[in-house]
Amino acid sequence: MSFPSRLFLLFLCGFALPASAIERVEIQIGKIEHPGAEVEKISGALDMNGRWHAQATLKRGDAAQLGKEFALPFTFTKGALRGQAEFSGEQLALNQVRGEFFIKDVAFNDETGLHAGEKIAAHVQAVATRENGQWHWSCKLSDTGGEVFWQPLYLAKMDVAFDGRGVYAPTLLSVEQGVLTIGGVGSAQGSLALALPENSIKNLDVTAQRLDMAGVYSVLLKPFFEKTMLANLEMEGQADASVRMKDGAFTAFRVALRDFDVADKNGAFAFYKVNADVPWSLDQATQAGLRYAGGELLKMNLGAAEISAALNGYALTASRVQLPVLDGTLTLTDISAAFVQQKWHWHLGATLTPVSMSDFSHAVGWPTMDGKLAAGIPMVTYTNGTMTMDGAMGISIFDGSITLDNLALQDPLGIAPRMRGDIIMRNLDLDLLTHTFSFGAITGRLDGDVKNMVLSRWKPVQFDASFRSAPGKYPRKISQRAVENISALGGAGASAALQRSFLRFFKQFNYSAIGLSCKLRQGNCVMQGVEPTSGGYVIVKGSGIPAITVLGYNQKVSWSELLSRIQGVIESNAAPVIK
């Protein structure tokens, strides 16, 4: 039997006496012991009109034992409580409860393992008064500590404070006015109404100012981004935010960033000195604006830019956005995005004005290249988690062209993105290409195709690649160094057949065709060349005097082995067999 119930029984004794015999009944009890609690300094008073008042001190409370008496969704495993409480009412009705409690070293968990806490401490002050069948309450939570995991949030140090008031009824729990403060994050104030027992949001109106974005990310946002490309960020700066909800749906929000910096620790992107104002309303159109002082995208420098967009419900549109990249400009056009049936759908077009290949190759960690890089994308579409390109993207490089076609990217923000597409290379200048990659010298032109390409987590798992001499009349020369490197790609069984009598006099040789192909399936590469031979294939076919022929004999090579050969070429440790 609960403590108030015991007091009620004692007070009922007073009701059995004639009213004229008493004006006030007072009782005092030394203490009450319970397996989970020790209550002392118990006192109560009952007047002739049936009004009563009682108070007691909780000297010792065991959270593990007391928790067994309540139907809770989790189990208290340990913890101590102490404090005092006052009760008042009339007849058998409890009308007010007032208490102050200190909680120390509390631990809890549940069967799913999704909710747990350790070493929790708190100071709680609360008052609840019944009026017209509802309980009007106020509560102050302070001096908190400990660790709490509430999937997916984890508070390593529960530095949380709350001060608010509201109403409780069988069908409603409301916070009419409250302030929540999280250490290292900031404070938010507002109101909340929950429909009971389903705990659905009827109304929510919250405003926060001067939030520390470093704390917002580490405490609140990062747990929700663990399986995305946003899982390893650094943030600095401040933000103001407000949110409104009705019947479980967002009706308005506003986010304002001030001198905000964000950087991906993996080097994918960074934006500095971001200032933005993004107001949104479900019922009316708004205008959003954002500007930043600079940044990086895949280690390419981004210049200052300013962006504006129209928001209308769950749709966003912008006619044109210009973003400085290196010494060129990326222009996005016909931008349109919409959130439909809980999924994002968007499309845009893009063009990149000529960018210095020297700057670009340095930024992405490639060998220094000469010339300019330009690209155009007619339309990119994202829907149902897949990004596709309508039309081909063209790139001008090495005095030739590279075309990316049939591109499709699944789950681009996930931890396992998957990309499909084809790459078509035409008329690349081999002299520029081989000098760029320190491969030796080859004069001529190269065509290439990489069809049926599939990348998983940005690593190839399937493709049909073929590289060959482009058709046409042009000088076809290959240096001895290039012969060595091509032979190394052919593996230990590769050989270079030179006309012996001329070997000592020439450093470059004539060829009529160069070709090498790889069909990658299940981690293995099936290789071919210009034409088959007995037990192998021709990689370089000689012509004239001095002529050279390079043969390959390993027709099936593991992809990892082929990568190691390429790495060996890069490290200049190729050692071919020359006949």
- Give SS3 for 565: helix
C-alpha pair distances (Å), 30 with each of 39, 86, 88: 9, 16, 20
Altogether, the residues listed in the chain come to a count of 579
Quick check: pTM over 0.75? no
For the residues of 252-297, what is the DSSP string, one character each?
A: EEEEEEEEEEEEETTSSEEEEEEEEEEEEESSS-EEEEEEESEEEE
Nearest residue to 57 (alpha-carbon basis) of 37, 78, 80: 37
Q: Which two tokens stand for residue 415?
A: 């931890």
How do residues 163-222 score in pLDDT, each as one tens digit? 999 999 989 999 999 999 999 999 999 999 999 888 899 999 999 999 999 999 999 999
Q: Of 431, 557, 430, which is closest to residue 488 (Cα–Cα)?
A: 557
Q: What are phi and psi of 412, to 5 degrees?
A: -65, -25
Two tokens at 430?
Answer: 């081999």
Q: In which element (H, E) is residue 323 found?
A: strand 315-325
pLDDT score for 574: 41
When pLDDT is averaged across residues 120-127 and rounded to a whole number, the result is 96
Torsion of CA 237, 240, 246, 248, to 10 degrees: 10
% pLDDT > 90, the chain: 49
Alpha carbon distance 127, 168 (integer Å): 12
| Mean pLDDT value across residues 434-441 | 76
**Residue 464: enclosing H or E segment and its boundaries?**
strand 459-469
Q: What tens digit of pLDDT does each residue of 23-59 get?
A: 777 777 777 877 788 888 888 898 888 899 999 999 9
What pLDDT does residue 500 have?
A: 43
| Coil, strand or helix at 10 | helix
Residue 387 has pLDDT above 80, yes or no: yes
Q: What is the pLDDT of residues 85-113, one digit of tens each?
A: 999 999 889 999 999 999 999 999 988 88
Residue with tokens 């409480």: 85
Q: Residue 432: in which H helix or E strand, if any?
A: helix 430-436
pLDDT digits (tens, 9 = 90+) for 133-150: 899 999 999 999 999 998
What mean pLDDT comes out for the span 503-521? 82
Strands 393-397 and 386-390 come out as unpaired
Contact call for residues 405 and 378 (beta carbons, < 8 A)? no
**Mean pLDDT across the chain, nearest whole number?**
85
Q: Say if residue 499's pLDDT is above 50.
A: no
Contact criterion met (CB below 8 Å) for 264 and 232:
yes
Higher pLDDT, 217 or 342: 217
Q: Is the pLDDT of residue 365 over 50?
A: yes
pLDDT band of 568, cuts 50, 70, 90:
low
Cα–Cα–Cα angle for 221, 223, 229, rounded to 5 degrees: 80
d(CA 424, CA 343): 33
Q: How confident is the model at residue 390 (pLDDT cuts 50, 70, 90)?
A: confident
Judged by average pLDDT, the poorest of 19-23, 25-29, 531-535 is 19-23
Q: Determine the 3-state secondary structure of 527 from DSSP.
A: strand
pLDDT bin (cut points 50, 70, 90) of residue 451 is: very high
Instruction: Give the whole-angstrom CA distance, residue 46 versus residue 7.
Output: 10
* Mean pLDDT (whole number) for 314-322: 94
CA pair distance 367, 435, nearest whole angstrom = 10
pLDDT at 297: 87
pLDDT in tens, 255-285: 999 999 999 998 889 999 999 999 999 999 9
Which of 37, 30, 27, 29 lies closest to 2, judged by CA? 37
Pairwise CA distance, residues 455 & 559, whole Å = 13
Q: What percentage of the chain reaches a pLDDT higher than 70?
A: 89
Which of 170-174, 299-303, 339-343 shows the lowest per-residue confidence on average (mean pLDDT)?
A: 339-343
Which of 138-142, 372-376, 399-403, 501-505 comes out lowest in average pLDDT?
Answer: 501-505
